[in-house]
């Protein structure tokens, strides 16, 4: 049996650019890509915390250390500079792979520096 799992997440990254006339995609600081394990050209889901928009695009590499999160092309209608977003990737795993599986979770400060990282989301309490 196959199971689709959260592979990586950039939590509450801050959009720095929204470029309508750019060739689609989302440019992400290369350091954040490397730390999270998100690959260039990998499909990503973006969830806008402020307006509830959810959309699919792909990641491209922005300059390392730039802090850039640039939502480009048609997606620029769904996020603007200053918006906080959650950027996720998912992957399919065989049942036997799941015992050793842990997602890469990267938590961002407002300037897209890394607050901390983890491999599990804390249990939500009532």
Query: Which of 22, 58, 90, 107 is an active site residue?
Result: 58
Comparing CA positions, the residue from 104, 14, 18 lying closest to residue 67 is 14
Cα 114 to Cα 118: distance, rounded to the nearest angstrom: 11
Say whether 58 is catalytic.
Answer: yes
Strands 69-72 and 54-62: unpaired
Q: How many CA atoms lie within 13 A of 122 on its CB side?
A: 5
Binding residue numbers for substrate: 57, 73-75
Cα 69 to Cα 50: distance, rounded to the nearest angstrom: 16
SS3 category, 57:
strand
Compute the chain's Rg from CA coordinates: 14
Active-site annotation, residues = 25, 58
């Amino acid at each position: 049996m196959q199971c689709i799992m959260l592979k990586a997440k950039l939590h509450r990254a801050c959009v720095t650019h929204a470029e309508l006339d750019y060739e689609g995609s989302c440019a992400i600081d290369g350091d954040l890509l490397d730390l999270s394990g998100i690959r260039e050209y990998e499909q990503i889901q973006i969830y806008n915390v402020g307006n509830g928009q959810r959309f699919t695009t792909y990641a491209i590499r922005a300059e390392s250390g730039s802090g850039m999160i640039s939502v480009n092309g048609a997606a620029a209608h769904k996020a603007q500079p200053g918006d906080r977003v959650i950027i996720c990737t998912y992957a399919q795993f065989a049942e036997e792979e799941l015992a050793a599986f842990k997602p890469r979770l990267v938590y961002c400060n407002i300037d897209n520096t890394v607050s901390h990282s983890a491999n599990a989301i804390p249990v939500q309490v009532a």
